[in-house]
Structure 1
Amino acid sequence: MSDDFRRQVVRAAAWVDPVGVAAGLAKAEDGGDGLLALLSDGGPGGRWSHVAVQPDRIQVGPIEDRAAFGALRDPAFAAGTAGLAAYDAGARPATGRRETAWPDLMLARYPAMLTFDHRARAVRAVGRGATVAEAEAAADRALNWLTTARALETPPPPAEGFQAETTAAAYRAAVADVVGRIAAGELFQANVARAWSGRLKPDADPFDVFLRLQRDRAAPFGAYWRIGDRALVSNSPELFLSFDADSRRIEARPIKGTRPRAGDPAADAALAADLLASAKDRAENLMIVDLMRNDLARAAAPGSVQVETLFAVETHPTVHHLVSTVTARARAGVGAADLMEATFPPGSITGAPKHQALKVIAAHEPPRGPWCGSLFLVGEGGSLTASVLIRTASFERAGGVWRYRTLAGAGIVADSDPAAEEAETDVKISAMREALIGA
């Protein structure tokens, strides 16, 4: 197939559950290799879902410092391209090169894709190709995927264990160290994480974890992606960036501030109110809002960066979050690659000042891999939607066995309490833990 998709064909179809379609494709003879499922919860922040398989072009490799996301400027990776940028690639200017198991950047181009509009309850089969005939064939292939949809059954817990890579005491000590660095004037905030790892049972698959998260715990930016012996499962609620190529609008929605959910409605509402009133959480959120304003300004038209929403409470199945919305208008000539280069890695999972926070994080953590990197989709005209890979597990297969790694972090500020920050990571990892090993 040609290096660029000059033709596009769109066919309409009746609504089919995108999770069922993804489940059908995951059970194909190739085991779902190449399967991409970007599945939203259909809520206000998650109108669109996308499912695709059989990419025709894949690129896996390092990010060069001078043009970090230069591959996205290649016409071969335009609309229909999915990408994963590992956190460590963005951190490298501050930390230097550290040995990592995951590549800096993975790109895959999909000639055929299904797009699900949850609001209109409609499906579009999109085919792209160098000729009309190629695009029509791709659209027909995508339409056929709808016939493979399966009735959903929640698989049993797929993992054999859930092992912390460091002790809770070690994490509390790391938090205390960061608080001390903040007191000394080294920085204002840093997001420090804990990691857990293990392996799946011999008959289990990463897609089982994804299905278990989708049941009653779906998020606006749920995702499953498998390329060869690597797979990613994400249940992220956080938008990193969106870019509309027509209007030139950029939007970022950083999350900072968390409270657990409660079973009792009154207690649950009290937790949400406590989050909204918390001076600590509001200060933490505001620092990241200022950081995102600064990052977006690198690619925005002068004077166009603004805070549209500050300190909004969003409620998810296991947590309440404090979320703000920062917008801008992209300068002429700015595209997806420029936006990623200006802002990656996301400010909400690094800290402020970002460069120093990256150094402090590296002093306490081994390389993060995909976690807190970004999974993104390139749309028509170079539009972009990118999530922050929190609530995410990465999987690698060797010798027929899938091993996983997952993390949860907390933003550490001057008045952080180590025990409270440890408890916050427990809340954040709870859905992924249950998806892996059960309640």
Structure 2
Amino acid sequence: MSLIPASAESARPLPARTPLVPVHRDLLADMLTPVRAYALLCAPDAPGFLLESVEGGERLARYSFIGHQPVPLELGEGDPLPALRQVACEQVVDAAGMPRFLGGAVGYLGWESARHFERLPQAAGPGPPLPESAFLRAESLAVFDHVLQRLRLITLHRPDREDRSAAERRLDEMEAKLAAEPPTPPAKPAAQDDAWTSNLGQERYERMVEAARVHILAGDAFQVVLSQRFRKPLAARPFDVYRCLRGVNPSPYMFFVAFGGGRHIVGTSPEVLVRVEAGEITTRPLAGTRRRDLDPAHDEALERELLTDQKERAEHVMLVDLGRNDVGRVAAPGSVRVPRLMEVERYSHVMHISSTVTGRLARGQDSLAAVRATFPAGTLSGAPKIRAMEIIAELEPERRGPYGGALGYVGFGGNLDLAITLRSIVIADGIAYVQSGAGIVADSEPPREHQETLDKAGAMFAAVERAEAMP
């Protein structure tokens, strides 16, 4: 299947806009948490976001970002990347000493966005009731610096459009909200006795695995990642679900994004799709999984078993090669590297094998070209990527929606950081959706692959259960 050529827009100059100038105010933050600050700054169902990170499974990363009064970004029909490129091309000046993200677009690219980058079929059934992709435009942030115990309020303004006093008033509003008493939480939805239900069930999922193995044995693909989606009526406040999930499954990418209208995405993803900072591209494939054990000795034994499992190692190396190929499509010749290969990363319920692939953007390429080249992650499709995605569309009965796509930010100035949307909960119209998958290869055992999807969903199930038990 041929690749749709990259848009010429990446090489065409965009209309010049007046640079954005940050205005900021620093507050002591030793008695304030990001969770509390979000609750103070953002109304329960208004658009807003909280982006956090835990490094090494244990330590809160330096920055947490809260979006104050972001507005929906108009993506237009079709390919969402041109609208995001417009954001990336806006420049911020006088930003020395500022955090790496000062504003821009925050949101997600759904799995089906890939149809704008490649010629692909779609699954017949509908996914969760959300747009294919959705982003919020943020020009005012509250940024926690956990090293300096400082909260920096930042708002961006254009001197040719407003006086600096208008920016100062926005900072006044944020500071006043942070000094106020917390608002009364909205009433919880009525308690439900409903259990999680799958769109497939074990028997049907295992038949799907066997069908994928037929394709693999016929030489159509080396690996196909097949998922199932669980749903239940949610008897909890969405932000409480995030509070519980960040405790159950701390991860490098933790996010709560409220789009308004009862639509939220809550997640703790372990895996970056692509990061571009100052022209440096990074992607980190995770492939190979074992369930965690509470006994440290047994947990260590499971790590050794994972690293010596030839099936898991072969899958991982294949996906590292796919990552190298994806990065190489937009990287300068000779710049692609694998600085870290086959290390184990631990999370609350599972452990994974991880590697890191880097490269430097080639002349004439930009950060959105890197998104086009790497989307979606091979760890969520299989390999070869295009054929695996065709098989997924044939076998999975419903569209994936946000699952397996990407969520994060595209910053003014062009830096971006997008996680793979997994270990996440989509909340829409009072229903919680959780989706998880397993990589199918020639010698896959259907019951084991089904159990892997349950293991991966376990943290989300636990978070919802805890949130529903909260007063």
- Same topology, TM > 0.5: yes
Aligned to 1:308: 339
Distance 1:240 1:150, change over 3 A: farther
Letter in 2 for 1:11: R
Aligned to 1:421: 449
Percent of paired sites with the same residue: 33
1:115 deviation in Å? 2.0
Aligned to 2:275: 242
Give me the whole-angstrom Cα distance separating, in 2, the residues matched to 1:149 and 1:183: 62
Aligned to 1:122: 150
Is 1:104 equivalent to 2:132 in the alignment?
A: yes
Is 1:372 equivalent to 2:404 in the alignment?
A: yes
Q: Map Cα deviations across residues 374-400 of structure 1 (whole Å, 9 max, x no partner).
A: 112123521111100111121222xxx
Q: What is the aligned residue count?
A: 423
1:201-280 to structure 2, matched below 5 A, reads: 201=235, 204-229=236-261, 230-245=263-278, 248-280=279-311
Distance 1:425 1:119, change over 3 A: farther
Greater Cα radius of gyration, structure 1 or 2:
2
Is 1:391 equivalent to 2:405 in the alignment?
A: no
Aligned to 2:73: 58
TM-score, length-normalised on structure 1? 0.88
Give me the whole-angstrom Cα distance separating, in 1, the residues matched to 2:321 and 2:238: 37
1:258 deviation in Å? 1.0
1:149 deviation in Å? 8.2
Is the CA contact 2:87–2:105 (under 8 Å) kept in the aligned structure 1? no
Q: 2:81 aligns with which of 69, 74, 80?
A: 69
Is the CA contact 1:157–1:437 (under 8 Å) kept in the aligned structure 2? no
1:429 deviation in Å? 0.4
Secondary structure, aligned partner of 1:219: coil
Is the CA contact 2:122–2:393 (under 8 Å) kept in the aligned structure 1? no
Q: 2:46 aligns with which of 33, 36, 47?
A: 33
Give me the whole-angstrom Cα distance separating, in 1, the residues matched to 2:106 and 2:136: 5
Is 1:23 equivalent to 2:39 in the alignment?
A: yes
Unaligned runs of 5+ in 2: 1-15, 91-102
Distance 1:38 1:185, change over 3 A: same
Q: Map Cα deviations across residues 341-390 of structure 1 (whole Å, 9 max, x no partner).
A: 11111121011100001011111211000011111212352111110011
1:215 deviation in Å? 2.3
Is the CA contact 2:18–2:158 (under 8 Å) kept in the aligned structure 1? yes
TM-score, length-normalised on structure 2? 0.83
Aligned to 1:196: 230
The ranges of structure 1 where at least 4 consecutive aligned residues each deviate by more than 6 angstroms after the TM superposition are 155-159
Letter in 2 for 1:90: A
Aligned to 2:20: 6
Aligned to 2:120: 95
Give me the whole-angstrom Cα distance separating, in 2, the residues matched to 1:358 and 1:224: 28
Is the CA contact 1:102–1:369 (under 8 Å) kept in the aligned structure 2? yes
Give me the whole-angstrom Cα distance separating, in 1, the residues matched to 2:61 and 2:39: 20
Q: CA RMSD in A?
A: 2.8
Is 1:186 equivalent to 2:212 in the alignment?
A: no
Distance 1:373 1:149, change over 3 A: farther
Distance 1:109 1:262, change over 3 A: same
Is the CA contact 2:106–2:407 (under 8 Å) kept in the aligned structure 1? yes
Distance 1:147 1:406, change over 3 A: same
1:156 deviation in Å? 11
Q: Map Cα deviations across residues 146-188 of structure 1 (whole Å, 9 max, x no partner).
A: 435869x9x9997643111111011111112212211110001
